[in-house]
Amino acid sequence: MPNKDWFETVAEAQRRAKRRLPKSVYSALMAGSERGLSYEENLASFGQLGFAPTVADKPAERDQATSVMGQPISFPVVISPTGVQAVHPDGEVAVARAAAARGTAMGLSSFASKPIEEVIAANPQTFFQIYWCGSKDHMAARMKHARSAGAVGLIVTLDWSFSHGRDWGSPFIPEKIDKEAVIAYGPEVARKPKYLMEWLKSGHLPDLGVPNMILPGDPVPTFFQAYGEWMQTPPATWEDLRWVVREWDGPVMIKGIIRVDDAKRAVDVGARGISVSNHGGNNIDGTPAPIKALRPIVEAVGSQLDVVLDGGVRRGSDVVKAVALGAKAVLIGRAYLWGLAANGQAGVENVLDVLRGGIDSALLGLGKASIHELGPDDVLIPDGFVRALGA
Ligand SMILES: Cc1cc2nc3c(=O)[nH]c(=O)nc-3n(C[C@H](O)[C@H](O)[C@H](O)COP(=O)(O)O)c2cc1C
């Protein structure tokens, strides 16, 4: 019997997420900054790259296994950390279960809705993500907490410029779900009965707290309290990042790099990985698509640390293009959030399966037995595509 909950593309997961979620939640999840130039370019750039498939002498089986920051993964797709609330009652725990079921690692945002202990119980291959937020004592306490919970690596995200005003409007996000919020949100939630039923069945409402931003002895802060602390923190220096690497004493990835000179500095401070990213089009608008900036960064530092590509991945062939241009793996954001909204854990598994199937199909087309055989010659790159920033 056909399974009506199954979807065959990430585009369909997005349509279902849009149908299922209240308008404000869907809009928070779409995010993007200013005119959405970077958001659009992230997607369009993959479409500008082409393939030259072969017809015979193809391998009957194709291997996708690799590793990121020392973690073996069954295919080159990792969950990017996202701090987003109220998408699904099981939140990041459902995402972690899905990632574990499909043999991959998970980035957990410090602005996520579920405590790290629950996420690691569902997927021991969890990297904890922090922003440069609060005093060094506070950061050290949060890192210590994540490490004792069992996080296998740290992601430090540095490409947020507080430039989130967007031309299509930002949703109103309440501090907590109180009487006022129920009145404000009631009408849009009432229009989404499946979403409402899911939360009613779970026996709790979204509490909009950020449990991984807790400090010893304090209550769980709200999203806005944590955001306020972040806004008041002076930006990090490279010396600060060297401190983070020492303090964590394990693999650290710097997320949000788009320039060759920054990639080299990440090597200097001891990072084990970098994520070439513009925060999914949420950094200053006009930052180029990471896939365009990838190749020069890989050429400069790819032999010294793991370079992953983050932003705009919607299909398996996008993953193959990124790996061919030198990424060890990709991180995905919205794609799995749409899967989660559409169908919980099974929806995230569905998205991962869509990507794995697409990678296999592209490898077959190109006649490659493994993702490790891919190289830049496997993609058709138009003139002017590559952006060597800060080289
Ligand atoms: C709703 C939303 C929330 C996000 N929250 C975080 C976060 O808390 N920490 C972080 O490092 N990146 C965050 N990101 C960025 C993602 O990790 C990732 O870089 C981005 O989504 C990649 O682009 P894609 O959505 O096109 O895959 C967020 C992105 C979205 C869309």
At 120-139, the pLDDT tens digits run 999 999 999 999 999 999 99
Question: 29, 13, 85: which is closest to 349 by C-alpha?
Answer: 13
**In whole angstroms, what is the distance from residue 18 CA to residue 96 CA?**
22
When pLDDT is cut at 50, 70 and 90, the band that residue 39 belongs to is very high
Q: Which residues are catalytic?
A: 279
Compute the mean pLDDT over every residue in the chain, rounded to the nearest whole number: 96
Cα 112 to middle of ligand 1, angstroms = 11
Find the distance separating the first CA and the last CA of the chain, reported in whole Å: 55
**In whole angstroms, what is the distance from residue 18 CA to residue 12 CA?**
10
Does this model's pTM top 0.75? yes
Mutate to test the pocket of ligand 1, among 21, 82, 87, 275 (most ligand atoms within 8 A of CB): 82
Q: Which atom of ligand 1 is nearest to the CA of 279?
A: 19
- pLDDT of res. 1: 66
pLDDT in tens, 168-206: 888 888 888 888 888 888 899 999 999 999 999 999 889
Question: 230, 232, 213: which is closest to 222 by C-alpha?
Answer: 213
Residue 296: CA atoms inside 13 Å, Cβ hemisphere, count?
Answer: 16
- pLDDT of res. 172: 80
Percent of the chain with pLDDT over 70: 99
- pLDDT of res. 57: 97
Mutate to test the pocket of ligand 1, among 77, 210, 279, 355 (most ligand atoms within 8 A of CB): 279
With beta carbons less than 8 A apart as the criterion, state whether 96 and 217 touch: no
pLDDT in tens, 74-89: 999 999 999 998 999 9
Q: What is the largest CA-CA distance in the chain?
A: 66
